[in-house]
């Protein structure tokens, strides 16, 4: 299965935007041009493995999180409904939902589920 360059670019752009990073700022962090970052985000170009790892590190995610749409057997939770829900949240919403999920998990554990 080939890498889905469109979805890779969309995930990358979403994660970058969520961290309030401009394309220029990300490009600087990974020693690339803004034009190259733009091409990757638009699905016009695939990054090398080295650049992909640098991008993942700069965005504080795993490469699985960036490539999940191209993996037949993703181990990452990036393909879960909960992960997708959290991707669309701002920081406050993410904190509230995470706290509620932890509490719910404790309740389920207490019930033996």
Reading the chain (113 residues) residue by residue, the pLDDT tens digits are: 688 899 999 999 999 998 999 999 999 999 999 999 999 999 999 999 999 999 999 999 889 889 887 777 656 566 677 777 777 788 898 889 989 989 998 998 888 88
43 and 96 co-located in one domain: no
54 and 3 co-located in one domain: yes
19 and 58 co-located in one domain: yes
The number of distinct structural domains making up the chain is: 2
Long-range contacts (CB closer than 8 Å, 24 or more residues apart) made by 57-61: 58/21, 58/26, 58/29, 58/30, 59/12, 59/15, 59/16, 59/19, 59/21, 59/26, 60/19, 61/15
Residue 96 sits in which domain range?
A: 80-113
Q: Is the pTM of this model over 0.85?
A: no
């Amino acid at each position: 299965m080939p890498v889905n360059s469109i979805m890779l670019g969309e995930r990358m752009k979403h994660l970058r935007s969520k961290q309030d990073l401009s394309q220029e700022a990300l490009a600087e962090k990974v020693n690339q041009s803004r034009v190259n970052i733009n091409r990757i985000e638009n699905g016009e170009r695939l990054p090398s493995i080295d650049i992909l790892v640098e991008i993942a590190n700069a965005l504080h995610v795993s490469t699985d999180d960036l490539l999940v749409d191209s993996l037949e057997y993703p181990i990452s939770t990036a393909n879960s409904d909960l992960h997708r829900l959290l991707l669309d949240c701002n920081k406050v919403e993410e904190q509230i939902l995470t706290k509620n999920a932890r509490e719910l998990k404790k309740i389920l554990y207490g019930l033996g589920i």
